[in-house]
Amino acid sequence: MKCYIVLYSQEGYFLTFTKRDLTYFSHDTNEIYPDGLSIENGPGQFAFPGGVFNKDEELFRACLRKFTEECGKEITFEFFPLNRLQSLLTLRNMIVNGAKYEILLSLLNTVPNKYHTLYLEFTTDDLRQIQNSIANTNIAQANRARIGVYNNVIQNYDQIFKYNPFCPLNDELFNPELWQIKREIDKIKFLSKSPITNGYYEMIVYLANYILNANTPY
């Protein structure tokens, strides 16, 4: 089963990504691919950060891990108080490349036999800052690493982070955007037409109509 993470605001904005067509490095294999390796599951399509979680992982920890792996090596989460077991109730802050953002609300939605989604609420201003930081630092360094791998300047996986310390661990997502549940309604509806993106459509509908109570007619 897979897990995903959605960052959103009360105004209905949420952070989206696009899957690349080719990957040039992978945390899962600790390998680089100078010729590029085709991404099989939804290349060029809409995506939220996520993937398969380990059986011994708590669901919300797996969601946070996947976000860090796919969006930026220097993205971490703080828990409070620190002397207790970490849980959803103690999740407090998100740190992106040293900048701290307060998590206003955390919700884990479980869809039996399909997937698990962690919803983290931020202010809209913080969402924009997070989007800009990921685009201009993390994804920018991933793009630079891809060029280095392609040109054989980077010759092994570990070298990526010597030159690009904020690079995501996996080369899979790019193009972070902020969509809005009503403004992008046609784009959201379009996601339901493909089995590759229909799951993301369901996650957005849950956000809009169950978390935000927007009663949007998708």
pLDDT in tens, 13-54: 999 999 999 999 999 999 999 999 999 889 999 999 999 988
> What's the pTM value of the predicted model, to 2 decimals?
0.94
Predicted pLDDT of residue 85? 64
Predicted pLDDT of residue 31? 97
Kindly indicate the confidence band of residue 81, based on its pLDDT and cuts at 50, 70 and 90. low
Burial class (CB in 10 A: 0-12, 13-18, 19+), 75: buried
Predicted pLDDT of residue 59? 87
Burial class (CB in 10 A: 0-12, 13-18, 19+), 56: exposed
pLDDT in tens, 127-159: 999 999 999 999 999 999 999 999 999 999 999
